[in-house]
Structure 1
Amino acid sequence: MRSHIVAGVALVFLGFSGQALSKVTTAEAQRLGDDLTPVGAERAGNRSGSIPEWTGGLATPPDGWREGQVEIDPFPEDEALFVITADNVHLYRDKLSDGHIAMLEKYGPDFFMPVYQTRRTAAFPEHVYDKFRENALTAQLLDNGNGVRDTIMTSPFPIPKDGLEVIWNHILRYRGEEISLRSASATPQRDGSYNPVVNDYDYFFAYSQKGAELAEIDNKIFYLKTDTIAPSSLAGTITLVHETLDQVRSPRLAWRYDSGSRRLRRSPNLAYETDLPNSSSLRSVDQKDMYNGAPNQYDWELKGKRELFVPYNAYKLHGPQVEADDVIRPGHINQALTRYELHRVWVVEAKRRTGISHIYDRRVFYVDEDSWQILASEEYDAEGNLWRVSEAHNISYYSEPVFWTTMEMTYDLKAERYYIDGLDDGFPAYDFSPGFRGNEFTASAARRAARR
């Protein structure tokens, strides 16, 4: 892995027909680090001051945190400025997504949104900022939208011109070079009862390695291995994923080892609308990480920017003392542990293409300008009704400057149930430097691990 996993002739992210879309001009790129932040956000705050200027983010850990510990709240003295409820939602409707309005109206008064001071904490290493500038001048989205070229390490389009570029910014955003973590997921019943599924996750981000070149990473974004720890009925299940960039020409490679059959098998359908494993059919595979995979099933439209109350700086949910029982409630999570802030987000609408089969006819994504992380989304059925509402609660990590999710959930408004992932239950801190070797993410390695 440290030599970037050279595997034959690289696909170099493309192989598409048609002409590439135009890159930004040198004058446009010079805005990065000037009136725009290095990642392409507006550096200045808003007129009212409710969104402050970006001044570098949370680039250094707060006092009291030590390497190897779970991240502590850097703002322990912050208190909610106000709380949005079903009773006062009309006062804030212009700053709320349709999904959050629906949640407030359906589950109030138990579902409420505590709004805190906006803190623009997203930060990344300096070498990642350098790549943003390089990508801005070279990255190209090909006209069929299935991939990009001349980009590496992080989001390709810090100054996006359309919705598809924004979605690729999310898919390819920097999440570190590698990471190992343990977390639990659950699908609570209507009464709040649940049985968690605990997994170990090992990621190796080939695309984001220092010194990586397009010709060396074999069309791979990342490699992922999951190992199920609990419950006992699922323990020993291993999933291996090779995430490709152009998934239309070179589909995602996935294998699954079932401890019952004791065989490692290819999983050709682990994509698009397929049910996410262990989600009780409450979430599709392409909703993992809020959105993943090939974007070829939708037409994408950039609707512009909005100032919205969105999940942010979720250190209360991430805290080392927080257990699953503290988080899970009937219908939705414990909103007393949430934190919402006013941020500028890119709004992208996806409409299912004619002739394409997918459970979601339309989807709306709200993408953080400071990190390119999708913070919330809405999923609509074939009749145009709002079906599901998804959230990503994020923090800035300390051992590696990365803004990433700590907890995700998808609320099903019809079933009145939800899927949640990222329950920590006292698990160790995420390890951003586990030191993976190149042979740890092959099918043969997964087979050997399963037999131990």
Structure 2
Amino acid sequence: MSGMRSHIVAGAAAVLFGLSGQALAKVSPAEAERLGNELTPVGAERSANESGTIPEWTGGLSTPPAGWREGEIEINPFPDDKPLFVITRDNLDLYRDKLSDGHIRMIEQYGPDFFMPVYQSRRTAAFPEHVYEKSVENATSAELLDNGNGVRDTIMTSPFPIPRNGLEVIWNHILRYRGTEISFRSASATPQTDGSYNPVVNEYDYFFAYSRKGAELEEIDNKIFYLKTNTISPSSLAGTITLVHETLDQIRSPRLAWRYDSGSRRLRRSPNLAYETDLPNSSSLRSVDQKDMYNGAPNQYDWTLKGKREMYVPYNAYKLHGDSVEADDVIRPKHINQKLTRYELHRVWVVEATLRTGISHIYARRVFYVDEDSWQILASEEYDQEGNLWRVSEAHNISYYSEPVFWTTMEMTYDLKAGRYYIDGLDDGFKAYDFSPGFRSNEFTASAARRAARR
């Protein structure tokens, strides 16, 4: 932790350090006027850094590159970019001040095969104009509920573009804009130490009630989104359906989840699909609340905002996302093929989560690195009960084209003790993400899932 503490970016005087769950007043209209001026509409610093190694934000990648057509998988908008340099075990000391403790450990433990190719920083995160408008509106209305277990007077996107504490940053991630609906297929895997693996293919259907244009908080029934997953392969799992109703205040109204097992042919409630429960098909390498890097009620931890840092983080992962890349190209023993990765220098918010007294969770402490331009968690570290670094997680992201959204294309959690990892987002051979499948909320009821399972 000493390295992290010593490299907090100066100028974060507005941040109230040490707050862990105490609600604060919404920002004033005068303060909110910074949004769209020296701050971007979502709250990032618009200007370049002093050295120019992080450029000014000029609107992000709001227009698809030439050569891409609707319905196709996103192409690399920067095909001519080459690494500026590569961080290895041999030159690690030159870059420690801009690396997370997790990435330092990965290089030390898995080098020379684990290295970090660093490219030109490109601030590609972009969202629709109506999302920017709501971000500015949320700034002067949104407030944390008691104990920070929910928010009020917010809609569509992140509620706190000018955050005052760690809880507000985490809620910005949980409620960030990811479109209004999406359907896609992808595969996950838990490779053995020799690199062998058996992929699990799922179909994902999301309906984001909270983010729909014109939605009002009182009309969405405390729901953030509805999610239905359908396992396609292997045959032993095919037909398994999971249905989730993700709630805004999970203490007042906990997450609702159901699971249909093709063997028993019954749809059952899954009350334990939360917190430290093993993520299905993860070989106990990832907990449920690590899906999407962090999800669910934040009530088990005290959250502390440590400030902002300039760091090398996964970004613009179009090589990993490309339609010519297959799972065999990505998966390697102990970690993915780092030749396909791209890291850039970006400003990130650093949030530390410490397990509350009397609460049980496999992770006693967690550290999150949150992108200032999108509120997406880009990397995290998970510590065991003895304070040892146990797992390191990454989210490799892109800006999508059919809907201006900055979101993950691939996530992985590395278990440093087991020498194995969980990976999700292997999308070779599948169609492009569909951001307008035409869903209705009544397609995500338990009865609808039951009917779908019997077909």
The two structures share one fold, judged by TM-score above 0.5: yes
| 2:380 counterpart of 1:377 | yes
**Structure 1 residue 178: Cα displacement:** 0.2
CA distance in 2: counterparts of 1:438 and 1:98, whole angstroms: 42
**Structure 1 residue 20: Cα displacement:** 5.3
Match of 2:157 among 154, 158, 178: 154
Cα pair 1:21 1:143 within 8 Å, conserved: no
Match of 2:448 among 438, 445, 448: 445
Matched residue, 2:131: 128
Match of 1:360 among 363, 369, 375: 363
Cα pair 2:366 2:383 within 8 Å, conserved: yes
CA distance in 1: counterparts of 2:239 and 2:298, whole angstroms: 32
Matched residue, 1:139: 142
Identity percentage of aligned residues? 87
Matched residue, 1:338: 341
Cα pair 2:89 2:115 within 8 Å, conserved: yes
TM (norm. structure 1) is 0.96
After superposition, the C-alpha distances for 1:24-56 in whole angstroms (9 at most, x for unaligned) are 011110000000000000000101000000000
Match of 2:301 among 298, 306, 310: 298
CA distance in 1: counterparts of 2:400 and 2:347, whole angstroms: 21
Match of 2:169 among 150, 166, 170: 166
CA distance in 1: counterparts of 2:350 and 2:440, whole angstroms: 39
Name the aligned partner's letter for residue 93 of structure 2. H
CA distance in 1: counterparts of 2:248 and 2:357, whole angstroms: 24
**Structure 1 residue 437: Cα displacement:** 2.2
Matched residue, 1:9: none
Matched residue, 1:195: 198
CA distance in 2: counterparts of 1:95 and 1:106, whole angstroms: 18
Matched residue, 2:108: 105
Cα pair 1:23 1:137 within 8 Å, conserved: yes
Matched residue, 2:55: 52
- Secondary structure in structure 1 of the residue aligned to 2:349: strand
**Structure 1 residue 142: Cα displacement:** 2.3
Cα pair 2:159 2:172 within 8 Å, conserved: yes
Match of 1:386 among 385, 389, 393: 389
Matched residue, 2:91: 88
| 2:70 counterpart of 1:67 | yes
CA distance in 1: counterparts of 2:45 and 2:249, whole angstroms: 30
Matched residue, 2:431: 428
Deviates more, 1:221-230 or 1:435-444: 435-444
CA distance in 2: counterparts of 1:87 and 1:447, whole angstroms: 56
After superposition, the C-alpha distances for 1:371-412 in whole angstroms (9 at most, x for unaligned) are 000000000000000000000000000000000000000000
After superposition, the C-alpha distances for 1:170-207 in whole angstroms (9 at most, x for unaligned) are 00000000000000000000000000000000000000
CA distance in 1: counterparts of 2:198 and 2:367, whole angstroms: 30
Match of 1:234 among 223, 232, 237: 237
What RMSD over aligned residues (CA atoms) do the two structures have, in Å? 0.9
Name the aligned partner's letter for residue 388 of structure 2. N
After superposition, the C-alpha distances for 1:256-308 in whole angstroms (9 at most, x for unaligned) are 00000000000000000000000000000000000000000000000000000
Name the aligned partner's letter for residue 226 of structure 1. T
**Structure 1 residue 113: Cα displacement:** 0.1
Name the aligned partner's letter for residue 152 of structure 1. I
CA distance in 2: counterparts of 1:380 and 1:142, whole angstroms: 28
Cα pair 2:319 2:340 within 8 Å, conserved: yes
After superposition, the C-alpha distances for 1:302-344 in whole angstroms (9 at most, x for unaligned) are 0000000000000000001111000000000000000000000
User: Compared with structure 1, are the counterparts of its residues 19 and 161 closer, same or farther at alpha carbon in structure 2 (3 Å cutoff)?
Assistant: closer
CA distance in 2: counterparts of 1:21 and 1:85, whole angstroms: 43
Matched residue, 2:80: 77
CA distance in 1: counterparts of 2:167 and 2:158, whole angstroms: 12
CA distance in 1: counterparts of 2:116 and 2:192, whole angstroms: 22
CA distance in 1: counterparts of 2:118 and 2:136, whole angstroms: 33
CA distance in 2: counterparts of 1:125 and 1:364, whole angstroms: 30
Matched residue, 2:3: none
Matched residue, 1:317: 320
Give structure 2 stretches of 5+ with no counterpart: 1-20
Matched residue, 2:398: 395
User: Compared with structure 1, are the counterparts of its residues 19 and 372 closer, same or farther at alpha carbon in structure 2 (3 Å cutoff)?
Assistant: closer
User: Compared with structure 1, are the counterparts of its residues 19 and 389 closer, same or farther at alpha carbon in structure 2 (3 Å cutoff)?
Assistant: closer
Matched residue, 2:45: 42
Deviates more, 1:343-352 or 1:437-446: 437-446
- Please show how residues 155-304 of structure 1 align to structure 2 within 5 Å: 155-304=158-307
CA distance in 2: counterparts of 1:321 and 1:257, whole angstroms: 34
**Structure 1 residue 247: Cα displacement:** 0.7
**Structure 1 residue 19: Cα displacement:** 9.2
Cα pair 1:390 1:410 within 8 Å, conserved: yes
Moved over 4 A (4+): none
**Structure 1 residue 21: Cα displacement:** 2.5
Give structure 1 stretches of 5+ with no counterpart: 1-17
CA distance in 1: counterparts of 2:291 and 2:29, whole angstroms: 35
TM (norm. structure 2) is 0.95
